[in-house]
A and B are shown apart, each in its own frame.
Chain A
Amino acid sequence: DTEVTQTPKHLVMGMTNKKSLKCEQHMGHRAMYWYKQKAKKPPELMFVYSYEKLSINESVPSRFSPECPNSSLLNLHLHALQPEDSALYLCASSQDFPRGETEAFFGQGTRLTVV
């Protein structure tokens, strides 16, 4: 199984809503990542978890709150988002970190629209 599974595939939320994005992998990887991708731009790294601990937070606003309940799961909790937060949110995983970003498997992404 070389899959990273993200749910939901699409999400529309209002600016006062609270929602969560979920990511799961069963490859035994110990590093997991959240990226944000705007249309026709490369992915931008948001967070890195290594061995279930937050290793990198790329100065992401607190309205995005990551959580790694165990080594297979990664969540991104969303609260009070702005329309400019609309984007494709990608999860990825790799064997470990560092260098892990160079060997990461990406999920299909969640297309988020904030209205």
Chain B
Amino acid sequence: GQQLNQSPQSMFIQEGEDVSMNCTSSSIFNTWLWYKQDPGEGPVLLIALYKAGELTSNGRLTAQFGITRKDSFLNISASIPSDVGIYFCAGYNAGNNRKLIWGLGTSLAVNP
């Protein structure tokens, strides 16, 4: 099925570094979501974006809904060991049979 282009696929960083990941699509969306999944757990919603150009923060996390409605990025500032996990973006447009379209994930490892 349709998937989003999410990059990078994986990152290995030092504790305290900032992280940036993004998702792009050939289709427009009216909602962008960012999830984090820890090993053996279900995804947890981090940030939801509903408007083109919207910039939203959740603690050390910041995400933006691109003005073209075809992309979004997630930044994590001052990474800590518990940031380790897989981060997924997902886009929603009611025209896509009301389904979420998921990115393939960015695996983040943090070296203490």
Contacts and interface: CB of A to CB of B under 8 A. Distances in A.
Given A106-B44, A108-B41, A108-B42, A98 B104 contact: no
Interface of B: 1, 3, 31, 33, 40-45, 48, 86, 88, 90, 92, 94, 98-100, 102-105, 107
A66 interface: no
Interface size on A, as a range, is 20 to 34
Interface string A82-111: 000000001010000111011111111101
A44 B100 CA distance: 9
Interface of A: 4, 40-45, 90, 92, 97-99, 101-109, 111
Contacts of A109: 40-42
B98 to A, nearest CB: 4
Contact of A99 (B43, B98, B103, B104): B98
Contacts of B90: 42, 102
